Amino acid sequence: MNRLSALFISFLAVAPYVSAHGFLGQISVDGTPYRGNLPGKNQGSSPIRMVSDISPVKGTGNPDITCGLSAQPAALTVPANPGSNITFQWEGGQDGGSDWPHNVGPLMTYMASCGSTDCSNFNASGAKWFKVAQSGQKPGGSTWYQADIMQGDSYSVTLDQNLAPGGYLIRNEIISLQLATSQGGAEFYPACAQLNIGGSGNGQPQSTVSFPGAYSDTDPGIFTPNVYNPGFVYQFPGPALSNLQAVSFDTTPAVSIDANFASGVAAPSAAPSTAAAQSSAPAAAPSSAAPAPAPTSSAAAAPASSAAPVSGSSTASASSAKGSCRVRAKANATNPDRRRHFSRATRRTSH
């Protein structure tokens, strides 16, 4: 009985720390932003596969470890190229608006070919993944790159120069280890986006892994009883970096989450300058009238992705108005309209 009540008390002691989680809010391809849906909402067309909730995936054998909780195929597959820069902006909270809440654990990025299937119809459970980036502890080992994400930073990878053309899923994953001092405590936040790689590369991955399958609950990078000990050296789970690993990868300055959702309507339109206004019009688009993310309905949305310039053009004006990632990040500092990122003071208290 003593032991039981001791357990109960320690549970109570831990309980107040639950609840701060998050999701992938936006990706950018060479500076063109594509917004993601809030978890469980169908707000508009996106290349990011929508998850059902901000909570983590628990357990390496969980089928949701592939692309996140109940991830659904996305309507858009957006253009990119070998050597493109892909930027991931994570958010905290069910409705976004705060920064990523965790700071201990790695970020890893994988890619997988959609083969001959349009990525909007591709079943990720059969994907053959290769690892293109991984960022764990910073030099010196006392802080993690994930701590930069908690500060609001984005994460960027520059794709291999010889990637073969075609559809790919790109899977950016954060593992948060604050509870991984117990086996099964690691929190997995995988997120997948759909890219159409152009160009004429011929690179093929030398080896691939599956999710679930690539990790085990007892991997030294997943069950980390010593993670808070001085001198702890992190060991990444999963495969080594692929022969098609990213040219470079790092945390990068914050990108404001303000892209319009692509209309999903084939209206490459005579007047590109009005595209942004059109896509911000409420609910006029068939895609928002029929947001349904089930594989069958994403087939209906497929024409939108083959009309890739649509999403490109509807966001291009916003993007060009703000310039490149680097320029935009600087602008953010003085941009009062950075509405989905709260002040640091607010964020700190949210966790």
> Footprint of Cu ion on this chain (CB under 5 A)?
20-21
User: Which CB sits closer to Cu ion, 19 or 306?
Assistant: 19
Question: What DSSP state is assigned to residue 97?
Answer: B
User: Which CB sits closer to Cu ion, 94 or 161?
Assistant: 94
User: Which CB sits closer to Cu ion, 90 or 236?
Assistant: 90
Structure tokens at 47: 């290349």
List of E strands, the chain: 22-29, 32-35, 78-80, 85-92, 107-113, 129-135, 154-158, 166-176, 187-197, 248-252
Cβ at position 67, least distance to Cu ion in Å: 18
Least Cα distance to 134 among 253, 251, 254, 252 occurs for 251
Structure tokens at 90: 């994570």
Q: Which residue is nearest to Cu ion (CB)?
A: 21
Cβ at position 71, least distance to Cu ion in Å: 17
Q: How far apart are CA 346 and CA 351, in angstroms?
A: 9
Which amino acid, residue 74? A
Cβ at position 101, least distance to Cu ion in Å: 5
Cβ at position 51, least distance to Cu ion in Å: 13
Q: How far apart are CA 166 and CA 72, in angstroms?
A: 20
User: Which CB sits closer to Cu ion, 4 or 18?
Assistant: 18
Cβ at position 57, least distance to Cu ion in Å: 11
300: left (phi over 0), alpha (psi -120 to 50) or beta: alpha
Residues 6+ away with beta carbon under 8 Å from 287? 44, 45, 75, 262, 263, 264, 265, 301, 304
Cβ at position 117, least distance to Cu ion in Å: 33
93: left (phi over 0), alpha (psi -120 to 50) or beta: left
User: Which CB sits closer to Cu ion, 99 or 160?
Assistant: 99
Cβ at position 69, least distance to Cu ion in Å: 12
User: Which CB sits closer to Cu ion, 21 or 328?
Assistant: 21
Least Cα distance to 31 among 347, 315, 287 occurs for 315
User: Which CB sits closer to Cu ion, 102 or 328?
Assistant: 102
Structure tokens at 348: 């700190």
